[in-house]
Structure 1
């Protein structure tokens, strides 16, 4: 599984990508719930993330892909489709996260657009994505690519409101 855009290569994650994934964990906004941030013991560690990559099945019609810059081979985050169990059966959730130092270059839009094409070619009829109400950059990416907010919302005291978006393919 490989997806290519003008500037990006999206490919299965490799064990050596764990350092970038760990960096993403360190950069997360403090409003993100604790289970998605480093715990008091500093977990997940790079070793924990390496183990997770080793045990994840290779992406076929769903999975998270490393986002790599073609120009220098640097991995800058992930983007892909996951079956989180929170949506409708057979409708994967779009997930993406990029390193802060790469924000503002259009990489998220480019990566998400490639994943939308992958979902369409894999036979998916609709995608959904959740986004925090305070995450304006990700909300812009989703809106730009045709995701619309639904009436479904989940408020988590102290963290904000999760908005549910969908896109028909």
Structure 2
């Protein structure tokens, strides 16, 4: 893995197969596709609503104005084909302890099962470690077996803390010492 920054000091992380970098507004169509693919058990605020929102234009605006898309949740680009297949990164959602960001990742269904999520997340963990973080955490729905497997491969363990939502399932809290 190599780690660098673009001229504007944006984070760029490179692995053998992937480049993790800030989003470009033109890639809002990929974000929209992620929104359309989400499991129906995901809460409505994280799915396309009855009015078709968020729109590609709204997502483009979010990429341009929201710092999370430039420094937190990085676009995951495959080096060979130069296509963006999802995101991975660290975010401060306010749900964890101070100084302990949350690992988040989401990839398009068509690339599931190829190890990209594990590879991208592992690179983000390496960067977090080298940046001085001592512990990270991640949340995952109890029914999301694929993401639970990725977190287990990365060495995250369940804390026993959960949040139950009768309509959507149970959120499991996991953590990892770096």
**TM range, smaller chain:** over 0.9
The two structures, once aligned, show a CA RMSD in angstroms of: 0.7
1:43 is matched with: 53
Pairwise mapping of residues 1-169 of structure 1 onto structure 2 (< 5 A)?
1-57=11-67, 58-59=70-71, 63-169=72-178
- Give the gaps of 5 or more residues in structure 2: 1-10
Query: Shift of residue 87 of structure 1?
Result: 0.8
3-state SS in 1 of match to 2:57: helix
3-state SS in 2 of match to 1:96: strand
User: How many Å separate the matches in 1 of 2:92 and 2:29?
Assistant: 24
User: How many Å separate the matches in 1 of 2:53 and 2:131?
Assistant: 34
User: How many Å separate the matches in 1 of 2:127 and 2:75?
Assistant: 14
3-state SS in 1 of match to 2:28: helix
Query: Shift of residue 56 of structure 1?
Result: 2.1
How many residue pairs align between the two structures?
Answer: 166
Q: TM-score, normalised by structure 2?
A: 0.92
3-state SS in 2 of match to 1:13: coil
Query: Shift of residue 28 of structure 1?
Result: 0.1
User: How many Å separate the matches in 1 of 2:75 and 2:84?
Assistant: 7
User: How many Å separate the matches in 1 of 2:132 and 2:23?
Assistant: 23
User: How many Å separate the matches in 1 of 2:52 and 2:135?
Assistant: 37
Q: TM-score, normalised by structure 1?
A: 0.96
User: How many Å separate the matches in 2 of 1:91 and 1:14?
Assistant: 27
Q: Which segments of structure 1 move beyond 4 Å, counting only runs of 4 or more?
A: none
